[in-house]
Structure 1
Amino acid sequence: MKVLLYAEAKRLLSRSGIGIALKHQMEALKRVNVDFTLAIDDDYDLAHINTVGPGARFVANSCRSKNIPIIWHVHTTAEDIRNSFLLSNIYSKYAKFALRKIYSKADFLVFPTRYTMNIVRKYGVKVEGEVVSNGVDTQFFKKNEEKARQFRRKYGLTGPIVLCVALPFKRKGIHDFVDVAKRLSQCHFVWIGSKGLASLLPRDVREILRNPPSNVLFPGFMPQEELVGAYSAADVFFFPSYEENEGIVVLEALSCECPVLVRDIPVYEDWLQDGVNCLKGKTNTDFEKAIEKLISDKNFANELGKMARKVALERDLTIIGEKLKRIYEEVLEKHGKKDE
């Protein structure tokens, strides 16, 4: 069995959730000894597609003509297109119709969460599918005090750190992050994420990046090695996103035992429990109070971090690799192709 792992514009997407998900798939398949290729002109038995652009549609049509089964990984919904880049809200109005047509080309769908599955089912997509987390490398993303010290020294951070890792989109809650930072001037608020798409962002977001409050830092993109230090140094991982299909950065923070604070949105309902392995809030006042509690009550914060690690371990890449391998084998069998 040889699998094509496909994502178009890999260089552009390398710093996005889809790009990281592709890397996770590669590592997961290596761990369970599944042969894969990234080259569309290679020979392969099954295609695992991660994007929805013209390249992905070309690959799907090519596979259909060659009787090669297609698994489509649902990373994109109309809902998570909104409030991202310029004109994204206009595009999102038409996206669900295009996505319904695209995902219906698949033989099998992989959803990162039950929430995403329910959304796509409402589009009218009836293709068989299964929920499989994007996963996290729990051995790499592990609390590291030395890397935490290095991170603090590099950015001159001496007080409590409130961290977020995301592209600077309105949908990710950047305005709320800054508003809460203004209320908690005693804390350092650090938002890590590529600013390479700044020209495509609305004017108000560009203004935040140019002139942040004095206690807010936007260091831009950060390699994963340094990210471990950021998660390890942070007192709170504050992720005020309004819409997610899972949130790989949330998994990374959980894996590093960093106390996590998220917006109370449906995507987390069946795997993150408020007060058990995270804290949830609906308003900026909720977020302010939760951050104050995590900073003042270290015993509670540490216990939350330990429980968070357990959630991550259930989504380790080895487990994800085993699930993907089983799905590949079942799809090949149903397609009349035996695993060789």
Structure 2
Amino acid sequence: MKINILSIAHKYPGQGVYSATEDHMYLLEKYSDYEIYQNKLFGKYDILHIHTINPKSFFSLLFHKKESFCVISAHIVPNSLKGSLKLNRFWLFLFRIYLWSFYKISDVVLAVSEETREELINDLKIEPEKIKVFRNIVRKDLFYTSQKDKESKKKFLRKKYGYSVNDFVVLGAGQIQPRKGIRDFFEMASELKEMKFIWVGGMPFQKMTDGYEEMNELINNAPSNLFFAGIVNREKMIDFYNMADIFFLPSLQETFGLVVLEAAGSGLPIVLRDLEVYKKIFNSCYLSGTSIQDFMLIFRKLKNDINFYKEYESKSYKLFDMYNEEKAFRELKKIYEEGVNSKK
């Protein structure tokens, strides 16, 4: 079986679609015997799988529609652009039509969560039968640290990066943009001077980032206990997960939140904003709040109550184990094979 994967996410590292594309390639290379091609505009393929909705992908979708089984991973929905890119209120209407066309023409749309599926149905009016929920995976080879190895690695990495073994370190990760809740992360660091805060990630879309000037102002005026590390290679992210005590993602909107699974692989207790999307994909394996006051209470309890901390450390490892690579491949293989057979 020949599969052509289309994605330009590698041009913008440090964002979730890049990670999802890399993980998709990893899954196929490890578990399948498919002939895998990337970003080929022409040629005959059994499957066309699109991750980024750029014009080349759209042209390729039109060109291959008749012969190939065409799959699109729905990493983007209209709401995910609010608070992400500048001036979206002026162009979002036209982009919504473009996005609808993309998903409408495809044979199958893969939604990363049930919440995304509902938005595709209710907001973009995509036919329910066309949408399948296929959640992101997390790579054990990159993001797993056993409980017995945690303390020794933490001690080594704290020394390497200039932190004390006695510091209580709060880690966040993702693009620096209003949608990710950067203002609240900044405010938490300002309020909790007794803790250290690190945010890993940057602005890959640079001046097109919504709130670009404000985000830079926050970076330039960060309190002494807050470090903005910028974009780091994905292979280096495990250092930050292993060095931290908890993972905090105060996003205002998410389609999934792949960094949550990555952090769970190091047994970090997870603290998130109370969003509906998380309830089905992460079950009861995380802590949530709706305000700065909520988060402050949670952080202090995790810092001061060892039993509470251990409970959510265990829940994070449980969450990580839920996203099994082999199971995910079997699900994807079934989608592919049924789709290819339907084209015959």
8 A Cα contact 1:277 1:305, kept in partner: no
Give matches, 1:164-183, under 5 Å: 164-183=172-191
- Tell me which moved more, 162-171 or 133-142: 133-142
Q: Which residue of 2 aligns with 1:208?
A: 218
Q: Secondary structure at the match of 1:125?
A: coil
Q: Which residue of 1 aligns with 2:138?
A: 136
8 A Cα contact 1:150 1:229, kept in partner: no
Query: Deviation digits for residues 17-71 of structure 1, max 9, x if unmatched?
Result: 111101110111123224221141454211011111211101101112x521201
Q: Normalising to structure 1: TM-score of the pair? A: 0.92
Q: CA deviation at 1:292?
A: 0.9
CA distance in structure 1 between the aligned counterparts of 2:206 and 2:261, rounded to whole angstroms:
26
Unaligned segments of structure 2, at least 5 residues: none
- Tell me which moved more, 78-87 or 297-306: 297-306
Q: Which residue of 2 aligns with 1:327?
A: 335
8 A Cα contact 2:143 2:262, kept in partner: yes
- Equivalent position amino acid for 1:218 in 2: F
Q: Which residue of 2 aligns with 1:112?
A: 112
Query: Deviation digits for residues 204-237 of structure 1, max 9, x if unmatched?
Result: 1110112211111001112233311211221110
What is the count of residue pairs matched by the alignment? 332
- Equivalent position amino acid for 2:168 in 1: P
Instruction: Mark the CA change 1:320 to 1:176 in structure 2 (over 3 Å): closer, same or farther.
Output: same
- Equivalent position amino acid for 1:190 in 2: I
Query: Deviation digits for residues 65-120 of structure 1, max 9, x if unmatched?
Result: x5212011100011000111322343334433322121001111111100000000
Instruction: Mark the CA change 1:74 to 1:104 in structure 2 (over 3 Å): closer, same or farther.
Output: same
Q: Secondary structure at the match of 1:251?
A: helix
Q: Percent identity?
A: 26
- Equivalent position amino acid for 1:149 in 2: K
8 A Cα contact 1:147 1:226, kept in partner: no
Query: Deviation digits for residues 285-323 of structure 1, max 9, x if unmatched?
Result: 111111111111122222212222222222133222221
Q: Which residue of 2 aligns with 1:199?
A: 207
Query: Deviation digits for residues 143-195 of structure 1, max 9, x if unmatched?
Result: 25344334322332221000001110100000000111111101111000034
Q: Which residue of 2 aligns with 1:86?
A: 86
CA distance in structure 1 between the aligned counterparts of 2:300 and 2:156, rounded to whole angstroms:
25
CA distance in structure 2 between the aligned counterparts of 1:106 and 1:171, rounded to whole angstroms:
28
Instruction: Mark the CA change 1:198 to 1:327 in structure 2 (over 3 Å): closer, same or farther.
Output: same
- Equivalent position amino acid for 1:131 in 2: V
- Equivalent position amino acid for 2:125 in 1: G
- Equivalent position amino acid for 1:52 in 2: I
Q: Normalising to structure 2: TM-score of the pair? A: 0.91
CA distance in structure 1 between the aligned counterparts of 2:313 and 2:339, rounded to whole angstroms:
38
Instruction: Mark the CA change 1:299 to 1:224 in structure 2 (over 3 Å): closer, same or farther.
Output: farther
Q: Which residue of 1 aligns with 2:47?
A: 46
Q: Secondary structure at the match of 1:157?
A: coil
Write 1 or 2 for the structure with the bigger share of helix: 2
Q: Which residue of 1 aligns with 2:320?
A: 312
8 A Cα contact 1:3 1:46, kept in partner: yes
